[in-house]
Amino acid sequence: MYNRLKRSIAIVCLAAPLPFSVLAAGTATIQGSNGDRFTLEYDGSQMRLQSDRQRNVHLIANGSSIYAVTQAGGQPVVVSGNAVMGLLSASSGRKQFASGSEDIQEFIGLRSTGRSETVGGIAGKVHTLEYIDRTGKRRAEEVVLSEHAEVAEMTNRFGRIAATFQQNSGVDNAGAQQLLQELDRRRAGILRFADHYRLESLNTATPSQARFQLPAAPMQLPALQGLEALVPGLTGRR
């Protein structure tokens, strides 16, 4: 699950928080690439992210701290984000595991096409995003933007998770930051990014605080191998 999740998190919302954010709350259902679907719940700096493909693992974020929550032997297991990122990096054989090939290395421009598109029941404007990806390839892909305040906030919530993953794994996200400065200027959020990301629904009701609580204290493990043996599902293995 996390082999897909690490890629989707980096692509979704382009890896950084929007600085004009207000501390709103809600639940978003997001369609990622390859049919992956994620549920994002947020309330201020608290977030919960889960994939529909593997319901026994989810992420909890509080401010800049991220935790993976699962079960082993019928008991809840909580692992800090740093330990999870180290394990994923080791299992994938790449240091910059939080970066997909579509991730922005260099932002070039964002221009309106003059077309409109409704995504997840919310009206938006279609733009062409031009950028250089992590492989050095120049890309031009469609992005649907909305000035809806809740969309901007939802973008911010998912972006905080992506930013933390990338920053803690040493990924340079300067290109994404340049794009987000432009989104800040426009007071806009993202409804769709090509076929990598699409908002399916957005509910602005505040989730229960229980959704953001850790079921146990974060574990301190002496080695990544111990973590992988204890919770093999974290690497997508069975």
Tens of pLDDT, residue by residue over 44-89, are 888 898 888 877 888 888 877 888 888 877 888 888 866 665 555 5
11 within domain boundaries: yes
Buried b (16+ CB within 10 A) or exposed e, 104-128: bbbbeebeeeeeebebbebebbbbe
d(CA 8, CA 27): 18
57 within domain boundaries: yes
**How far are the Cα atoms of 6, 63, 209, 232 from residue 43, in angstroms, in the given order?**
22, 11, 8, 30
pLDDT at 61: 85
Q: What is the mean pLDDT of residues 90-110?
A: 63
Lowest mean pLDDT among 1-5, 165-169, 228-232: 1-5
Q: Which residues constitute the domain of residue 58? A: 2-233
CATH, residue 96: 2.50.20
Q: Are 187 and 152 in contact (CB under 8 A)?
A: yes
Structure tokens at 94: 């790449």
C-alpha 160 chain-centroid distance = 7
Structure tokens at 217: 């204290």
d(CA 150, CA 162): 19
pLDDT at 18: 36
Q: Which residues pair with 144 in a beta bridge?
A: 126, 192
Q: Per the structure, how many domains does the chain have?
A: 1
pLDDT at 218: 86
Look at residue 236 and tell me whether its pLDDT is greater than 90.
no
238 within domain boundaries: no
pTM confidence score: 0.75
Mean pLDDT over all residues of the chain? 76
Q: Are 19 and 195 in contact (CB under 8 A)?
A: no
87 within domain boundaries: yes
Does the CA dihedral 212-170-53-218 come out positive or negative? Answer: negative
7 within domain boundaries: yes
